[in-house]
Chains A and B, each alone.
Chain A
Amino acid sequence: MAEETLRPAWSSQFDPEVLPRLATSGPVGEITPEWAWGGSTGKGVRVAVVDSGVEAAHPALDGCIRGGVAFEYDESLESRVRLEADDPPVDLTGHGTACAGIIHSIAPEAEIYSVRVLGRELRGKALQFAAGLRWALDHGMQVVNLSLSTSKEEYYGLFHKLADEAYFMNVLLVSAANNYPVASYPSLYSSVISVAASDGGDPFTYFYNPAPPVEFGAPGIDVDVAWLNGGRSQITGNSFAAPHIAGITALILSKYPELTPFQVKTVLMACARNVAQAGA
């Protein structure tokens, strides 16, 4: 009982003891990781990292950062948000650099753009976040890594609208669940690929969970990541699980650019570790 209450909700779904073993049949059951992303480098796929910025010169990124913008809170504007150039991008916290580094390590030829939405102050965060996501949709991004979320109900509608728009534009939103067991948007919407931390260190081993709130579990516990000032660190959080799936998604889209979000999700599901071919 006590042990149960200490377990965080966001990772408990991917505990091997409770995670269902699933089977797929027909052509979907025949999809393998080799078919899905074998030989792919993510070449030609544009990935936005909506976060705290990215340290573009970090040695782990090998110059994969193609540009960046920043959104600052500005009370004098009607939109409350001001767009600024951030090129070459900077990162004040290390968090965005960690996410970009994970994506690059999986999809080395993907083109990564930094969209900095964690600004200089505490106010207006959700509006900056929404503006950053809007920018990504308007600028031809194919995969958007969202290792951040809002828990404010008042923004439910705004983010839902953006997520639906992304879905019909064939833009994949990969959204980390909050580290606290609270409702967090956009990770709760079915149109996004929601991700939480699961055990294990292999970047290509992830799990699928058919029940809400989180669909995919990827490495997010004590992950070795790129950090500030050219450094590295070991870090824990759902934030670092999402870019694993974003990287794999970039590999799949590089190989099969015509796939739609629900098809990509099907491919991801079929290649999850706990999903087997029926009868195999």
Chain B
Amino acid sequence: MTEPTPSPDPILRGQLLHLLEAVEASGRAVLPRQDGELLLLVVEAAARIFGAAAASIALVDEAGQYLEFRVSYGAGNESLVGMRIPINQGIAGYVAITGQPLAVSNVRTDPRFSKDFAQSTGYVPQSILAMPLISGERVIGVMEVLDKISAPSFGMQDMELLGIFARQAAIAIHQAQQVSRLDAAFLRELRQLAGQHDDAGLLKDLLDGLAQTGNGEGEQLKAVADVFYALNLLGEAEQRACFEVLSAFARYAKRTPADIRGME
């Protein structure tokens, strides 16, 4: 056959490239990392994939009352981070409350009415595509990509594509949050134990042990951390059980100080 190979459809090629980038970025995001680092990775990837001038992530606080902007990439990024808005306000609030994505372009406020939130960040976007970050059935935050560079507004294909990406990102973020919450609970229990005895000596020893490799104690603690991580992969009931066991152990340990001293 001497038929020339047809050149691939440039739109299709672009879409495939975007999909591959999305898969690659989501895969990298699944690695447990420091919370902030992970979020930054996700928004950078989102901005790149969707050709957006800026992107941000706001997470729902533990009480479910506020959305707090945690990371931002691109235009207007400094002033946005740290801002909190009530969970039910604005475009991000709507998306958080309903769990539905929304694409808005060309927002024009009537000057007779008060200024809205975007203007207080010093950067007023022309177009916004906001997606809920959903883990299980819970909305944990909202990801927004702002001002698509290659087109005047976000279309439906972008809504669908960002949906796929947002689902992956939400899983990674939720997992990182759970790991850090379990870490915090573990340290809190350890501190309580340490507080019973001479200053924070026990805690320091334990943490030093954790940092060292090849040390028997450190290995043991790392194994404990692995158990915590494995528990985190299970459901909420299992995690509650984990807390209860840990608390029971702490209560038991308080009653037998001699045994604890033996560990020192």
Residues of A within 8 A of B171 (CB): none
Docked Cα-Cα span, A123 to B113, in Å, equals: 31
Q: Please give the residue numbers on chain A whose beta carbons come within 8 Å of chain B beta carbons, in ascending order.
A: 2-3, 6-8, 11, 52, 59, 92-95, 118-123, 125, 148, 151-152, 178-181, 197, 221-222, 227-237, 239
Count contacts on B: residues with CB < 8 A to the other chain: 48
B88 and A118 contacting across the interface, CB-CB below 8 Å: yes
B105 and A234 contacting across the interface, CB-CB below 8 Å: yes
B100 and A237 contacting across the interface, CB-CB below 8 Å: yes
**From B93, B114, B137, contact of A92 by CB (8 A):** B93
Residues of A within 8 A of B64 (CB): 121-123
Q: Is the interface of B mostly helix, strand, loop or mixed?
A: mixed
Residues of B within 8 A of A118 (CB): 88, 94, 97-98
Docked Cα-Cα span, A181 to B156, in Å, equals: 12
**From B19, B102, B108, contact of A237 by CB (8 A):** B102
Closest 9 A-B residue pairs measured CB to CB?
Answer: A230-B110, A229-B113, A93-B94, A231-B109, A230-B113, A236-B103, A233-B107, A8-B160, A234-B106
Is B116's CB within 8 Å of the partner chain A?
Answer: yes
Q: Is the interface of A mostly helix, strand, loop or mixed?
A: loop
Nearest residue, chain A, Cβ from B167:
A180
Instruction: For residue B63, give the distance in angstroms from its CB to the closest CB of chain A.
Output: 8
Residues of B within 8 A of A221 (CB): 155-156
B107 and A227 contacting across the interface, CB-CB below 8 Å: yes
Instruction: For residue B20, give the distance in angstroms from its CB to the closest CB of chain A.
Output: 11
B155 and A228 contacting across the interface, CB-CB below 8 Å: no
Q: Please give the residue numbers on chain B whose beta carbons come within 8 Å of chain A beta carbons, in ascending order.
A: 11-12, 15-16, 19, 60, 64-65, 86-91, 93-94, 96-110, 112-116, 137-139, 153-157, 159-161, 163
B104 and A235 contacting across the interface, CB-CB below 8 Å: yes
B108 and A231 contacting across the interface, CB-CB below 8 Å: yes
**From A152, A178, A231, contact of B100 by CB (8 A):** A178
Instruction: For residue B126, give the distance in angstroms from its CB to the closest CB of chain A.
Output: 10
Docked Cα-Cα span, A236 to B99, in Å, equals: 15
User: Across the A-B interface, how many residue pairs have beta carbons closer than 8 Å?
Assistant: 135
A93 and B89 contacting across the interface, CB-CB below 8 Å: yes
B97 and A6 contacting across the interface, CB-CB below 8 Å: no
Instruction: For residue B91, give the distance in angstroms from its CB to the closest CB of chain A.
Output: 7
Instruction: Taking A8-B160, A221-B155, A222-B105 as given, write out 18 further A-B residue pairs in contact, using a Cβ cutoff of 8 Å, ordered by the A residue number.
Output: A2-B16, A6-B160, A8-B157, A8-B159, A52-B94, A92-B88, A92-B90, A93-B89, A94-B94, A118-B94, A120-B86, A152-B137, A228-B116, A230-B113, A233-B106, A235-B104, A236-B105, A236-B155
Instruction: For residue B18, give the distance in angstroms from its CB to the closest CB of chain A.
Output: 9
**From A11, A59, A93, A120, contact of B90 by CB (8 A):** A93
Once A118-B88, A121-B87 are accepted as A-B contacts, the answer to whether A230 and B109 lie under 8 Å apart by CB is yes
Residues of B within 8 A of A3 (CB): 11-12, 15
Question: Can you report 13 A-B residue pairs in the complex whose CB atoms are below 8 A from each other?
Answer: A2-B16, A3-B11, A6-B157, A92-B86, A94-B94, A120-B88, A121-B87, A178-B100, A179-B101, A227-B107, A231-B108, A235-B104, A236-B154
Docked Cα-Cα span, A148 to B97, in Å, equals: 11
Docked Cα-Cα span, A125 to B12, in Å, equals: 39
B106 and A179 contacting across the interface, CB-CB below 8 Å: no
Instruction: For residue A56, give the distance in angstroms from its CB to the closest CB of chain B.
Output: 13
Instruction: For residue B120, give the distance in angstroms from its CB to the closest CB of chain A.
Output: 13
